[in-house]
Chain A
């Protein structure tokens, strides 16, 4: 290596070090961060709500026993600093951080956590009021479901005894729904607790002007260090276009859900950054095997070859998505990247159709959702495009739809020959996609595979993560071969922020804590 090269290398290294130290040391305390979003929160008691706008706020106010590592669905310590699980997978013991307090000054200890779980899980608990506790019943399968008992072993040790081992248990505990509330505050407010949230999170609740804004302030004593921001304000600005103009006029610092046609102007604006949230969803085209000819795997494979996913993403997602080859989005551990997608190939598709005995095609019903969802932002147009692709191989799809409630009703009733639908994850565990959507006891596309079922059940019972990863990778291979659906896309929801907003790391699970975000004035 000659001197010039060495010198330039040294320079580069020095530059990197300087830049890096800047980014570390320039972090500033103070400031108010205003986030513009599409709707108001429904409520601020995380166990009672199911909407993202509520979770955005409760994520700041509450802590969970364990939590997600920023930007991933990996579980890291939260209120518990470490934990262990018994060999049979039925007893989990968590060791809590000491000295953590709720915003009302009460201690976060084993008793408080036990009290929260009992409030959620026991229908005869005096404070099992104020809502339906939907996500508890959903994730732990009924009241009290999988969790047999919660014991406060000592002040800072809490033990969960399960009915049977639950692989996704740890991921469940990290969900924003299971934010630990101050028992005293819940008792004080009763049915109205959802308007007076008290947790131990990085920001304290200040006020909620319904339909307008929620104001939070820094928790000076947060266990993970005082937040950089003094205040966080979530404003409801329902219209995407108006929200973007608020951002341009400077009255908000960040927003989500931008109109696809505004994406370009963000990219051209030096004061704004577009960042993409890692995908946590899948939009798919399903073929119901109770109906002919979709019981024939060759037909399903032909369809997989006939749909041009890249083009769909370019046209209907403004490019803000990635083509799907698995039911799992890549942000979730266990994603099998070895699988090769069926390439877009009309000749191959026609061959497969002929081989299946349909050289002249056939006609069938194709249902699309009436409402946009994150995974299908423009369902009708996407369905029309798919209809067109399929016409290219000689099959005729009759496009049909219903209102959303009826649509779901008929979907669960197995009435659709083919349809588009999708799923957004809950707990970042592969089980939450693969078992929920495709196991033979669960799916609504007439797909039966005993082999897959056994793998999914085994993975559900295991608490050994490596073993589970291997099982889920195998499961994805089986699904790939059987083609119950054509997975279409994993959308990556866009966020737009001013460049002065630093260190905002979007999490796939749709919400993230903001105590590490700072403003560079």
Chain B
């Protein structure tokens, strides 16, 4: 197992080089440049030239790539063209926010999606089954933008139960240490802040988790249905085992591989930053920041950010693969 993990980690290196090269080329080949977007209507030919020169954009492309790659090897992703802030610094502030939100959204999606899928499968064609699959269908096709605004409108404006957006209320004091605020408030034993942070997480997690929830519920149902038709399930029932044991011990464990795969993929997608959710809920995560950077042609930020995502995605996939072995003893990595 250990040697497998090491092998997989080594395989990250060509992935990183490949992603770095592709991202670098794409962002440099699309029209428009940072000097231009920075200057906007003031982008006279001379002003652009001057700015491009001082930003180092007039160097040949391969020279720029070499200097980017050299920085990468020493862990330096460069500084943002717009703000002059080191890219690594920006990522280290924003990624934890994305991670926290994605994690909570996945807990919501898994926590509701898997039980709903199991129930629908064990009660196939019942009213609940049909209703939940209809809801799941709606959930998959739900425009997050609209859902988010409706959640805010209902729970924050009309009912006033939950805060409308952002991560922490004005007036609640909390030092940011890890930038994962639930963790930060626990470290500081600051329970008021913990409650506040938690209440801020609910609406965006629901909005962000809805689509994965629907996908997971549908996948759980179909995977369970398939397993429940197997001979060994019939055998288990005929041995007189209780429903609960058959479903959770015999069926679910075997149905779990595709579910885990979907959960892993969805989590990877969420880590890529949920631009719409972040926008609606004023969540200072990496997704919206990256999209803004693409519009601004902030090359170092786009390169660094996407590289970071690629690595995160590969690592999540690795975790999924490892968990296969944990669930199914027949799977063994060498």
A→B interface (CB under 8 Å): 32, 34, 39-40, 42-43, 48-50, 130-132, 134, 137-138, 191, 194-195, 209-213, 233, 235-239, 241-242, 245-246, 248-249, 251, 373, 403-406, 408-409, 412, 421-424
Do B39 and A412 touch across chains, with their CB atoms under 8 A apart?
no
B289 lies within 8 A of chain A by Cβ: yes
11 interchain pairs, CB-CB under 8 A: A34-B170, A132-B55, A211-B285, A237-B282, A239-B282, A245-B153, A249-B164, A251-B164, A408-B40, A412-B43, A424-B41
Query: Which residues of chain A are near B40, meaning CB under 8 Å?
Result: 50, 408
Do B83 and A422 touch across chains, with their CB atoms under 8 A apart?
no
A437 CA / B203 CA spacing, docked (Å): 48
Do A408 and B282 touch across chains, with their CB atoms under 8 A apart?
no
Which candidate, B28-36, B135-143, B263-271, B316-324, is the interface stretch facing chain A?
B28-36
Do A242 and B152 touch across chains, with their CB atoms under 8 A apart?
yes
B23 lies within 8 A of chain A by Cβ: no
A49 CA / B44 CA spacing, docked (Å): 18
Do B41 and A423 touch across chains, with their CB atoms under 8 A apart?
yes
B→A interface (CB under 8 Å): 31-33, 36-45, 47, 50-51, 54-55, 79, 82-85, 90, 93-94, 97, 148-149, 152-153, 156-157, 160, 163-171, 176, 278-282, 284-285, 288-289, 292, 297
Do A408 and B41 touch across chains, with their CB atoms under 8 A apart?
yes
A246 CA / B176 CA spacing, docked (Å): 24
CB distance from B6 to the nearest CB of A (A): 36
A246 CA / B153 CA spacing, docked (Å): 9
CB distance from B61 to the nearest CB of A (A): 17
Query: Which residues of chain A are near B284, meaning CB under 8 Å?
Result: 40, 209-212, 236
Do A236 and B39 touch across chains, with their CB atoms under 8 A apart?
no
A466 CA / B118 CA spacing, docked (Å): 82
Query: Which residues of chain B are near A424, meaning CB under 8 Å?
Result: 41
Query: Which residues of chain B are near A412, meaning CB under 8 Å?
Result: 43-45
Query: Which residues of chain A are near B97, meaning CB under 8 Å?
Result: 211
Query: Which residues of chain B are near A239, meaning CB under 8 Å?
Result: 149, 279-280, 282
A150 CA / B167 CA spacing, docked (Å): 47
Chain B residue, CB-CB nearest to A412: B45
Query: Which residues of chain A are near B169, meaning CB under 8 Å?
Result: 251
Query: Which residues of chain A are near B148, meaning CB under 8 Å?
Result: 242
Known contacts being A42-B82, A212-B284, A412-B44, is A241 close to B31, with CB within 8 Å?
A: no
Q: Among the listed B47, B156, B166, B167, which residue makes an inter-chain contact with A138, where contact means beta carbons less than 8 Å apart?
A: B47
Query: Which residues of chain A are near B37, meaning CB under 8 Å?
Result: 404-405
Do B84 and A211 touch across chains, with their CB atoms under 8 A apart?
no
Do A32 and B170 touch across chains, with their CB atoms under 8 A apart?
yes
Query: Which residues of chain B are near A137, meaning CB under 8 Å?
Result: 47, 50
A194 CA / B80 CA spacing, docked (Å): 13
CB distance from A208 to the nearest CB of B (A): 10
Query: Which residues of chain A are near B152, meaning CB under 8 Å?
Result: 242, 245
Do B84 and A403 touch across chains, with their CB atoms under 8 A apart?
no
Chain A residue, CB-CB nearest to B146: A241
Known contacts being A242-B164, A404-B37, is A249 close to B282, with CB within 8 Å?
A: no
Do B157 and A249 touch across chains, with their CB atoms under 8 A apart?
yes
A211 CA / B176 CA spacing, docked (Å): 14
Do B170 and A235 touch across chains, with their CB atoms under 8 A apart?
yes
Do B43 and A408 touch across chains, with their CB atoms under 8 A apart?
yes
A134 CA / B36 CA spacing, docked (Å): 12
Do A403 and B93 touch across chains, with their CB atoms under 8 A apart?
no
Do A245 and B164 touch across chains, with their CB atoms under 8 A apart?
yes
CB distance from B179 to the nearest CB of A (A): 9
CB distance from A143 to the nearest CB of B (A): 9
Chain B residue, CB-CB nearest to A405: B32
A406 CA / B32 CA spacing, docked (Å): 6
A194 CA / B90 CA spacing, docked (Å): 14
A137 CA / B282 CA spacing, docked (Å): 35
A403 CA / B278 CA spacing, docked (Å): 25
Do A134 and B282 touch across chains, with their CB atoms under 8 A apart?
no
A49 CA / B90 CA spacing, docked (Å): 17
Chain B residue, CB-CB nearest to A143: B50
Chain B residue, CB-CB nearest to A246: B164
Nearest first, the 7 A-B pairs at minimum CB distance are A405-B32, A211-B284, A237-B282, A212-B284, A42-B83, A238-B279, A249-B156
Chain A residue, CB-CB nearest to B281: A242
A8 CA / B163 CA spacing, docked (Å): 51
A249 CA / B159 CA spacing, docked (Å): 10
Chain B residue, CB-CB nearest to A235: B166
Query: Which residues of chain A are near B38, meaning CB under 8 Å?
Result: 50, 132, 134
Q: Among the listed A130, A237, A249, which residue makes an inter-chain contact with B84, where contact means beta carbons less than 8 Å apart?
A: A130
A408 CA / B36 CA spacing, docked (Å): 8
CB distance from B62 to the nearest CB of A (A): 23
Chain B residue, CB-CB nearest to A194: B84
CB distance from A439 to the nearest CB of B (A): 13
Do A405 and B33 touch across chains, with their CB atoms under 8 A apart?
yes
Q: A211, A233, A404 — which one has the most chain B CB atoms within 10 A of its CB?
A: A211
Query: Which residues of chain A are near B167, meaning CB under 8 Å?
Result: 212
Do B93 and A211 touch across chains, with their CB atoms under 8 A apart?
yes
CB distance from A371 to the nearest CB of B (A): 9
Do A251 and B280 touch across chains, with their CB atoms under 8 A apart?
no
Do B282 and A238 touch across chains, with their CB atoms under 8 A apart?
yes
Query: Which residues of chain B are near A138, meaning CB under 8 Å?
Result: 42, 47
Chain B residue, CB-CB nearest to A426: B42
Q: A131, A245, A423 — which one has the most chain B CB atoms within 10 A of its CB?
A: A245
Do A405 and B82 touch across chains, with their CB atoms under 8 A apart?
no
A239 CA / B165 CA spacing, docked (Å): 11
Query: Given known contacts A132-B55, A246-B156, A373-B41, what 12 new A-B pairs fall within 8 Å (CB)?
Result: A32-B171, A50-B39, A209-B284, A211-B93, A213-B166, A237-B166, A238-B282, A242-B148, A245-B149, A405-B36, A406-B31, A409-B36
